[in-house]
Amino acid sequence: MRLTLLGTGDAVGTPKIGCFCPACTDARSGGKSQRLRFSILVESGEGKILIDTSPDLRQQFLRQNLSEIDAVIWTHGHYDHYAGFGEFYRVQNRVNVYGIPETLDYINQYVSFLKPRYHYVKLYEPFELIGLQFTLFKVNHPPVEIPAGVIIREGDTKVVVTGDTNPAIPAESLELMKDPDLLIADAIVPPQIHIKKHMNSEEAMALAAKINAKEVVLTHLSHLFRPHHIESMFLPLGYDGQVFEI
């Protein structure tokens, strides 16, 4: 299993328009603080899956020399997680998309002209794609009613993607998340800041310890962190294009 972090930024990305803070300045100069919006590429010997379709999907496909994928999994209906789906126009027809009914029905209002092939899945019920097992689990990301994280399994190997969440993850989900080889965790801001909808980096690292993650990488990062080359000395910040071979 191979995972590539196509975008590690929050909803506005880094650099933020009109901002010249240290992280945005580093991003403008080509540093690793430059962050496109959230998307993950999951690959096996049998195909390619996208977890969420960032508004920056075109740029992400060009960077990774991608032309087609086998399916999309959507975690929830916030624009920074689905709005790039329109980039499939004249590129790939009838893309297979997976998610819970509430998420797919909401996003369909905006992308129905592309005629995706919808596959409704249930929380906590595994399904198979490209030789891997995927399971969606409930997290907590108000005001979204049923936001989801994703568990990916290949044999004894396990990856957990929290999706957008605050620390109040349901007990049933926490049990399912235990002992991952890799945790890809939402951590939008540094420890001194608290946001109702997301975890900060301290809360994300506490979650990693709680579920006994062997390795953790933080994503969905805002420009409020120090420049990547500084902050990454203290925290396992992800960066665009980072690859994990598991």
- Tell me the pLDDT tens digit for each residue of 85-110: 999 999 999 999 999 999 999 999 99
Given this model, what pLDDT does residue 130 score? 98
Q: Rounded to the nearest 10 degrees, how much is the dihedral formed by the CA atoms of 56, 59, 63, 68?
A: 90
Given this model, what pLDDT does residue 2 score? 98
Query: Residue ranges of the domains in the chain?
Result: 2-245
CA–CA distance, 95 with 111 (Å, rounded to integer)? 11
Pairs from 197-205 (Cβ < 8 Å, separation ≥ 24): 197/141, 197/142, 197/164, 197/166, 198/141, 198/164, 198/165, 198/166, 199/162, 199/165, 199/166, 199/167, 201/225, 201/235, 203/166, 203/167, 204/162, 205/235
Q: Cβ of 65: how many Cβ atoms within 10 Å?
A: 6
First to last CA, the chain: 5
What residues in the chain have per-residue pLDDT under 50?
Answer: none
Exposed, middle or buried, 173 (CB in 10 Å: 0-12/13-18/19+)? buried
CB 66 within 8 A of CB 88: no
H or E segment to which residue 107 belongs = helix 101-111
Q: What CATH superfamily is the domain 2-245?
A: Ribonuclease Z/Hydroxyacylglutathione hydrolase-like (3.60.15.10)
Given this model, what pLDDT does residue 175 score? 98
Residue 133's nearest CA partner among 148, 121, 156, 151 is 151
